[in-house]
Amino acid sequence: MKESLNSPGVQIPEELSGLVAITTLDRIYNWGRRNSLWPLMSGLACCAIEMICTAASRYDFSRFGMEVMRPSPRQADFMLISGTVTKKMVPQLVRLYNQMPEPKYVVAMGACASGGGPFKEGYSVVPGIDKFLPVDVYIPGCPPTPQALLNGLMKLQEKIDHQALKTDAHWYKKDGSAPIPVPILGPDLIDLRKVEQIRLASQVQQPASDADNNEVPHE
Amino acid sequence: MSDQSAVVGTVTEVFPDWFSPDSRPGYAGYIVPSERMREAAGYLKNRKHFDMLTSVTSADYFPEDRIEMVYHFRRSTGGEPLRIKCFLSRVESQIDSLVDVFPGAELQEREVWDLMGVRFTGHPDLRRILTWEGFAGHPLRKDWKEPFFEDEIKPYKSRWPEGKFIRAEEKNPLGDNLCFPPGFDPESWVPDKDEILYKSMTRVAKAGEDGMDSDTIIVNLGPQHPSTHGVFRMVARLDGETVVDLKPVMGYLHRNHEKIGERNTFLGNMPFTDRLDYICSMSNNFAYALAVEKLLNIAPPERAEYIRVIMAELTRIVNHLVANGFLMNDLGAFFTPVLYSLEEREFILDFFEAASGSRMMCNYYRFGGVVRDLDENMMSMLKAILERLPRKMDELEKYLIGSEIVRIRSEGVGILTPEAAIANSATGPLLRASGVPYDLRRADPYSIYDRFDFDVCVRYHGDIYDRFMLRIDEIRQSIRILKQAVRDMPSGPVLTGKPQYQVRVPAGEAYGRVEGPKGELGFYLVSNGKTNPARYHVRAPTFINLTSLAGMSRGNKVADVVTILGSIDIVLGEVDR
Amino acid sequence: MYGLGILKGLSVTLKHFILTFVDDAKRGKGRYRSPQGIAYKQSTELSGLFTVEYPEEKLPVPEEFRYIPFLVYEEEDGEKKLRCTSCGICSKVCPPQCIYIVRTVDPETGKPVPTPAEFCIDVDICMNCGLCAEYCPFDAIKMDHDYEIASFDRMKHHVFDISRLAKPVSYYASIRPKNYKTEEDARAAKAAAKQGTASA
């Protein structure tokens, strides 16, 4: 660990190496954060099983300081979206994300969470969680193997390494970050940020000629 | 179907206006007038001993004005299923509910109402189940189009030869997977607040022994909850800590499997079945392959049959290891039993990965065989696993079953009587732990299971402990089958005919089923002679097993509810599809 | 009774704990971060510590392992020639329809040329099922073993085009030696048969 803590280019006398580290505030701050990332314990679909395998003995992500799976969002550092996000589930996920304390991260695991996956064409699937939450790392694969997941989590650590306190730590700013409006379930999923658009789009449409058909197909 | 006609053949003579044989080519079973269905079901149950309503589904024959209700009845003593159909008009689409005759129809009828828009008169709680209240339309109707609709069937023409890459979002006016009814005003919309759900739950207003009038409270467990095995929600009405009533709420992982499956080619559905019950992808493949093979009327070669059985039994072991591990998790043995179980699972997954290319999403079965052969290396790998497993099972047994905590918390909790289990159409370990020796491998044999020497495991108390023990027993029986299969495996080809990517399937219907690790996993397919199924229905065992959840939970403490759920062993990919 | 069952159970966990040290002592340093150590961790004789220390240790993937597909190209005199003839079978067989192919058209004659002008795979839809590779008649599309492809931006990086998909035939031979050999043998046999009929 000391290699990543030490600032590069600073010479430490040989007799002190291993005892002393000369570093910047950014570096030690990020070093502490990257090695104690606690995930939110939330499994959605198939990928959740691979996530559990990654947490289990063979791949064991406690080697990265991630073993403390928190069932409560208040204690979690990052959210692992492991599986297909459906329209019925996304309000809950947004609410969970809003409840997580800053700094918080989102990892989209697998094709479904990243972009809808094989189920993208389905009527009740959200094509990518990034429609609602800011995603930090995307891991392709269906499902990503545990090693691929670990690779993605290391990418997240890499991202944290490059965050400077002065410029990137928006969570210490006064205004902070506003919560994401929780979508509501209507005839389809209503994203409260798009209300105006939805009204316009549904005004443009002509009423369906077929009384049996409740939904109008788009060309 | 000989079994069926022997039973109902006499009936058609007695009640000619009740049962008329379905004589369309490729179809089987009987057609019952829809207004007679409830009586007919009662008759079949009481007089003909068809005491299990295995599956309730429907098929839309658009553009004809016809929705067919398809019921499969079974006898708990074994035999082939009896298929009964009712023809409904697409506009009226109304039929009597069977819930008071067969309580197992409850969730299934709700699903048919939700997805197909058939109204069941007399259903006690007809709400949407997989989508949400307020959802526009009934998606499985053939004229219902989703926002990302591109074409009726795959392959889409826009992919080749002029396949410019374009995201589906760019073609949608809202830039997302969204579509609203015309004239919809989002601001005046009042979302469903689950009031009907809460009101539908039994309420007991009673004065306590001390004369105090205590009200009951409603507790929501899930959908984000560490012990609901995924995104599953239970709404419990509690009196103190005792559960008065409980309702499962699902659909949080509803991925439109059936709608997508009706657009896919027959082969294209194979990898999708992997994602149903994602812990046991191989047995999903198996059931689907059996259903399509019935339509195609082909059989796999000998060696492929053995490989199929090997894979299916390994899957059963994997599933039971995981199920028991997580059940212990729910009981409070936090993670150590799971870790031990997953350790053994890893070896089997290595085997699956070497055989099929993927740890979980195997996509290994093909119509008329399997995709590739097992070579010498793989066989020795399998033998090594079979050598290790019994040893580890002994260890796991020693570790868990004597533990007083496990026994106190699981013995006598969540009891399901055999009568209730049959009435609720429960299958799999849930049914067998209640003392009903019903295993499709024996009751309605498929593939080559009749060649193996194994016992149908059964236990008689119907509590959590028995379900846990039954799974351990079944692992041992699976090992027994595996050893015989490895010993007897012949050499030869593993696929009948040439590998084909677009199979043309003769018109007709078929119901393929296997005794999956969680129960009877069935695929009901209707083909109209094209390259894609006209109707593709999955009879998901855990979805139907959940019918028993409320009955098992009533009267228990709220802490036991999670263990009762764990002992049913649900996988949300299959429950919600 | 009286906690004996729990004690019995705990003895199992204790045994697991002790075995870790016993196994470490027995096997020495070679157990960790060495090829034979990884091989041991995959064998069923394994006792003691089970963990594979990714990224220092990586479990080798089996030959049939599949992740994202890639396109095989032949190297002829420094020129990259894709095996793909843009016949479109992969895009037809793809269950979630994530393969997009634009066929090359000869500008003069207007006839199709057997090579793709564009070939895209949307990785965010691909379900890694391997059907494209299974049914490709030209052995042109194969499933890759590279799983370390996490990225920060899916809009930019998750649609693989030809430049990202194309990989040399030598790479294919290295990740799937057995498949490569059977395919090459079959091709050689076919060529020999053709020559035989031609000479006859």
What's the complex ipTM? 0.92
Do residues C49 and C101 both lie within one domain? no
- Residues on chain A bordering chain C, Cβ-to-Cβ distance under 8 angstroms: 57-60, 63, 108, 111, 114-121, 128, 130, 135-142, 144-148, 150-152, 154-155, 159
> Over the stretch B13-27, which tens digit does the pLDDT of each residue have?
666 677 888 888 888
Whether C200 maps to a domain, the answer reads: no
Show which of C60, C77, C109 is a domain's final residue.
C60
> Which of A14-23, B308-317, B459-468 shows the lowest mean pLDDT across its residues?
A14-23
Show which of C60, C82, C104 is a domain's final residue.
C60
Q: What is the pLDDT of residue A212?
A: 44
Q: What is the pLDDT of residue B198?
A: 82
Is residue B398 very low, low, confident or very high in pLDDT (cuts 50, 70, 90)? confident
Does C67 reach chain A within 8 Å, measured CB to CB? yes
pTM, two decimal places = 0.91
Does A186 reach chain B within 8 Å, measured CB to CB? yes
Q: What is the pLDDT of residue B523?
A: 93
Q: What is the pLDDT of residue B193?
A: 80
Q: What is the pLDDT of residue B287?
A: 92
Whether C24 maps to a domain, the answer reads: yes
Contacts A–C by Cβ distance under 8 A: 101
Is residue A219 very low, low, confident or very high in pLDDT (cuts 50, 70, 90)? very low
Whether B476 maps to a domain, the answer reads: yes
Do residues C149 and C86 both lie within one domain? yes
DSSP letter (8 states) at residue B82: E
DSSP letter (8 states) at residue B155: S
Does B390 reach chain C within 8 Å, measured CB to CB? no
Do residues C78 and C36 both lie within one domain? no
Asked if residue B53 has pLDDT above 60, the reply is yes
Whether B433 maps to a domain, the answer reads: yes
Q: What is the pLDDT of residue B240?
A: 83
Q: Three-state DSSP class for B139?
A: coil
> Which of A88-92, B211-215, B514-518 shows the lowest mean pLDDT across its residues?
B211-215
Q: What is the pLDDT of residue B1?
A: 44
Whether B416 maps to a domain, the answer reads: yes
DSSP letter (8 states) at residue B491: P
Which residues of chain A make contact with B260, given a CB cutoff of 8 A?
Answer: 118-119, 121-122
- Test A150 with C55 for CB contact under 8 angstroms: yes
CATH number at residue C85: 3.30.70.3270
Which residues of chain C make contact with A57, given a CB cutoff of 8 A?
Answer: 50-51
Average pLDDT over residues C56-81: 87
Does C1 reach chain B within 8 Å, measured CB to CB? yes
Does B230 reach chain A within 8 Å, measured CB to CB? yes
> Which of B115-119, B215-219, B464-468 shows the lowest mean pLDDT across its residues?
B215-219
Note which residues in 70-109 of chain B have CB less than 8 A from chain A: 90-91
Is residue B319 very low, low, confident or very high in pLDDT (cuts 50, 70, 90)? very high
Which residues of chain B make contact with A56, given a CB cutoff of 8 A?
Answer: 338-339, 342-343
Do residues C108 and C22 both lie within one domain? no
By CA distance, what is B280's nearest residue in A?
A46
- Test B182 with A207 for CB contact under 8 angstroms: yes
Average pLDDT over residues B309-322: 93
Note which residues in 382-441 of chain B have CB less than 8 A from chain A: none
- Considering only CB atoms, A117 lies closest to which of C124, C148, C150, namely C124
Is residue A139 very low, low, confident or very high in pLDDT (cuts 50, 70, 90)? very high
Residues of the domain holding C94 = 69-194
Q: What is the pLDDT of residue C35?
A: 86
Tally the domains of chain B.
Answer: 2
Whether C199 maps to a domain, the answer reads: no
Do residues C133 and C41 both lie within one domain? no
Whether B143 maps to a domain, the answer reads: no
- Considering only CB atoms, C126 lies closest to which of A142, A146, A148, namely A142
Does B168 reach chain A within 8 Å, measured CB to CB? yes
Does C147 reach chain A within 8 Å, measured CB to CB? yes
> Over the stretch C6-27, which tens digit does the pLDDT of each residue have?
888 888 889 989 988 998 888 8
Show which of B121, B152, B180 is a domain's final residue.
B121
Asked if residue B202 has pLDDT above 70, the reply is no
Three-state secondary structure of chain A: CHHHHCCCCCCCCHHHECCECCCCHHHHHHHHHHCCCCEECCECCHHHHHHHHHHCCCCCHHHHCCCCCECCHHHCCEEEEECCCECCCHHHHHHHHHHCCCCCEEEEEHHHHHHCHHHCCCCCECCCHHHCCCCCEEECCCCCCHHHHHHHHHHHHHHHHCCCHHHHCHHHCCCCCCCCCCCEECCCEECHHHHHHHHHHHHHCCCCCCCCCCCCCCC
Residues of the domain holding B262 = 257-576
Does C163 reach chain B within 8 Å, measured CB to CB? no
Do residues C98 and C185 both lie within one domain? yes
Which residues of chain C make contact with A157, given a CB cutoff of 8 A?
Answer: none
Which residues of chain C make contact with A130, given a CB cutoff of 8 A?
Answer: 154
User: Which chains have 3+ CB pairs within 8 A of A?
Assistant: B, C
Whether C137 maps to a domain, the answer reads: yes
- Test A137 with C126 for CB contact under 8 angstroms: no
- Test B399 with C12 for CB contact under 8 angstroms: yes
Asked if residue B307 has pLDDT above 90, the reply is yes
Does B402 reach chain C within 8 Å, measured CB to CB? yes
Tally the domains of chain C.
Answer: 2
Contacts A–B by Cβ distance under 8 A: 212
Is residue B538 very low, low, confident or very high in pLDDT (cuts 50, 70, 90)? very high
Asked if residue A3 has pLDDT above 60, the reply is no
Query: Which strands form B533-539's sheet, in the order they lie side by side?
Result: B508-516, B519-527, B533-539
CATH number at residue B270: 1.10.645.10
Q: What is the pLDDT of residue B203?
A: 64
Q: What is the pLDDT of residue B320?
A: 92
- Test B179 with A46 for CB contact under 8 angstroms: no
Does C2 reach chain A within 8 Å, measured CB to CB? no
How far apart CA A13 and CA A23 sit, in angstroms, is 15
Nearest Cα of chain B lies from the Cα of A185 at a distance, in angstroms, of: 6
Show which of B121, B147, B165 is a domain's final residue.
B121
DSSP string, B255-278: --HHHHHTTS-TTTHHHHHHTTST
Does C94 reach chain B within 8 Å, measured CB to CB? yes
> Over the stretch B343-378, which tens digit does the pLDDT of each residue have?
899 999 999 999 998 988 999 999 988 998 898 989
Does B170 reach chain A within 8 Å, measured CB to CB? no
At residue B386's C-alpha, the angle toward residues B429 and B288, to 5°, is 50
Show which of C27, C43, C60 is a domain's final residue.
C60
Cβ B55 vs Cβ B66: under 8 Å: no
**Residue B275 tokens, joined:** 């994602």
- Considering only CB atoms, B363 lies closest to which of C4, C112, C130, namely C130
Note which residues in 474-533 of chain B have CB less than 8 A from chain A: none
How far apart CA B104 and CA C52 sit, in angstroms, is 46
Do residues C148 and C123 both lie within one domain? yes
- Test B260 with A122 for CB contact under 8 angstroms: yes
Whether B524 maps to a domain, the answer reads: yes
Which residues of chain A make contact with B91, given a CB cutoff of 8 A?
Answer: 212
Q: What is the pLDDT of residue B478?
A: 93
Do residues C35 and C86 both lie within one domain? no
Does A182 reach chain B within 8 Å, measured CB to CB? no
Asked if residue A216 has pLDDT above 50, the reply is no
Do residues C100 and C157 both lie within one domain? yes
**Any idea how long chain C is?**
200
Whether B567 maps to a domain, the answer reads: yes
Whether C140 maps to a domain, the answer reads: yes
Q: What is the pLDDT of residue B311?
A: 92
Amino acid occupying residue B424: N
> Which of B116-120, B265-269, B501-505, C149-153 shows the lowest mean pLDDT across its residues?
B501-505
Note which residues in 6-35 of chain A have CB less than 8 A from chain B: none
Q: What is the pLDDT of residue A211?
A: 42
How far apart CA C158 and CA C167 sit, in angstroms, is 17
Helices (H) then strands (E): counts for chain C: 8, 7
Do residues C100 and C4 both lie within one domain? no
> Over the stretch A143-201, which tens digit does the pLDDT of each residue have?
899 999 999 999 999 898 888 888 888 888 877 678 888 988 888 888 888 888 888 88
Query: Which strands form C112-122's sheet, in the order they lie side by side?
Result: C99-105, C112-122, C159-160
Q: What is the pLDDT of residue B205?
A: 56
User: Which chains have 3+ CB pairs within 8 A of C?
Assistant: A, B
Does C158 reach chain B within 8 Å, measured CB to CB? no
> Over the stretch A81-123, which tens digit does the pLDDT of each residue have?
888 999 999 999 999 999 888 888 999 998 989 988 899 888 8
Tell me what percent of the residues of chain B surpass a pLDDT of 90.
Answer: 33
Mutation site for B-interface testing, chosen from C103, C119, C134, C165 by largest number of B Cβ within 10 Å: C134
- Test A46 with B278 for CB contact under 8 angstroms: yes
With 0-12 / 13-18 / 19 or more C-beta atoms within 10 angstroms meaning exposed / middle / buried, residue A57 is middle
Whether B61 maps to a domain, the answer reads: yes
Rounded to the nearest integer, the mean pLDDT of chain B is 87
Higher pLDDT, B420 or B172: B420
State which H helix or E strand residue C177 sits in.
helix C177-199
CATH number at residue B15: 3.30.460.80
Which residues of chain C make contact with A141, given a CB cutoff of 8 A?
Answer: 67-68, 128, 147, 149
Do residues C52 and C134 both lie within one domain? no
CA–CA distances in Å: residue B247 to residues A39, B555, C88: 30, 14, 49
Asked if residue B394 has pLDDT above 60, the reply is yes
Note which residues in 77-96 of chain C have CB less than 8 A from chain A: 95-96
With 0-12 / 13-18 / 19 or more C-beta atoms within 10 angstroms meaning exposed / middle / buried, residue C37 is middle
Question: For B380, what's the count of Cα atoms within 13 Å in the CB-facing half-sphere?
Answer: 3
Do residues C79 and C47 both lie within one domain? no
Whether C99 maps to a domain, the answer reads: yes
Is residue C189 very low, low, confident or very high in pLDDT (cuts 50, 70, 90)? very high
Which residues of chain C make contact with B402, given a CB cutoff of 8 A?
Answer: 4-6, 8-9
Which residues of chain B make contact with C92, given a CB cutoff of 8 A?
Answer: 155, 159-160, 501-502
Q: What is the pLDDT of residue A1?
A: 44
Whether B361 maps to a domain, the answer reads: yes
- Considering only CB atoms, A122 lies closest to which of B138, B176, B256, namely B256
> Which of A10-24, B51-65, B78-92, B358-372 shows the lowest mean pLDDT across its residues?
A10-24
**Residue C108 tokens, joined:** 């003069």
Show which of B104, B121, B138 is a domain's final residue.
B121
Which residues of chain C make contact with B353, given a CB cutoff of 8 A?
Answer: 61-62, 64-65
> Over the stretch B143-160, which tens digit does the pLDDT of each residue have?
888 888 888 888 888 888
Q: What is the pLDDT of residue B4?
A: 57
Which residues make Cβ contacts (< 8 Å) with residue C182, sequence separation at least 6? none
DSSP letter (8 states) at residue B238: E
Give me the sign of the Cα torsion angle B460, B461, B466, B471: positive
Report phi then psi at B362, rounded to 5.
-75, -40
